[in-house]
Amino acid sequence: MNPNKIDKIRLRPDAFRATWTVDYDDLLWKYLRTIGSDHSVQKTNGKATGYEFLAIGTAISGRPRDIVFFLACSKYKEEKLAFTLSRRPMPNTPPPAKVRAIDRRLKGKVGLQKLLSDKLLKPNTLLIADFSIELNLKTSDGWHSPVIPRAPGDADAPLVNIGKTTHVEQIGYRFEEGANGLRELTVVYFHKPSSYHIHIDAHGALILASEMEIPFVQEISDFVAQKFFVSQ
């Protein structure tokens, strides 16, 4: 194995969700209401709880073409605004007419990035968000983890006799004050087909680069891959 090979492979996270909270801004909320696609008020026993949810929209047109972005906001009374930005692969089926109409109103991914840059991400202010990131690595591409799959250890003794053979193919970690903002990591090995699914929870800087890229998502994904995997 070439120990430097892993540094030359650019991972591409399959999906992520970023969430962050800011102080309530009445002008911002009213503006978002004018462009949002769906607004609802949470009620319990017919009475409003103070929570409101606003689906700002889905962006499908523009680059990267195989990715969908979704932005939403929730409000609690006049105290906080909580935002969620998610990214996932484009479905194989054509988008519904309603989604295409919302995308046109947002002006696609370019419009969504402009909305985020102009209205939600204040210049010269470091915004820290919570990230949930999904990665898939194929062993056919040369990826291998020395952690799993593995034979059972002493702690797995109660499970060893359940089957003819026992394999450890899933493991999770929680980090306190983790390096690079890493909080939790789950790695699952699938033997058919042979691949790894990685779930990362971390917190880091929400900074937008070109084409809706968030550098922290790439950085934490690369960090995890370099710590827990080798590429052969």
Q: Which residue has the higher pLDDT, 4 or 105?
A: 105
Query: Reduced to 3 DSSP states, what percent helix, strand and coil does the chain have, rounded to the nearest 5?
Result: 30, 40, 30
Residue by residue, DSSP assigns 114-155 as HHIIIIIS-TT---EEEEEEEEEEEGGGTEE-SSSSB---GG
Task: Report the alpha-carbon distance of residue 98 to residue 24 in Å, rounded.
Answer: 29
* In the predicted structure, residue 5 carries a pLDDT above the cut 60: no
Burial class of residue 30 in the structure, from the number of CB atoms within 10 Å of its CB (0-12 exposed, 13-18 middle, 19+ buried): exposed
pLDDT computed for residue 232 by the predictor = 63
Q: Which residue has the higher pLDDT, 145 or 71?
A: 71
Q: Which residue has the higher pLDDT, 159 or 78?
A: 78
CB–CB of 213/11 below 8 Å?
no
pLDDT computed for residue 116 by the predictor = 94
pLDDT computed for residue 193 by the predictor = 84
Angle between helices 97-106 and 108-115 (to 10 degrees): 50
Span of 26-35, 149-158, 165-174, 188-197 with lowest mean pLDDT: 149-158
Residues 6-15: pLDDT tens digits? 444 557 788 9
Share of the chain above pLDDT 70, in %: 95
pLDDT computed for residue 3 by the predictor = 41
pLDDT computed for residue 83 by the predictor = 97
pLDDT computed for residue 115 by the predictor = 94
Share the mean pLDDT of the chain: 89
pLDDT computed for residue 231 by the predictor = 67
List the domain boundaries for the chain: 5-13+129-231, 15-125
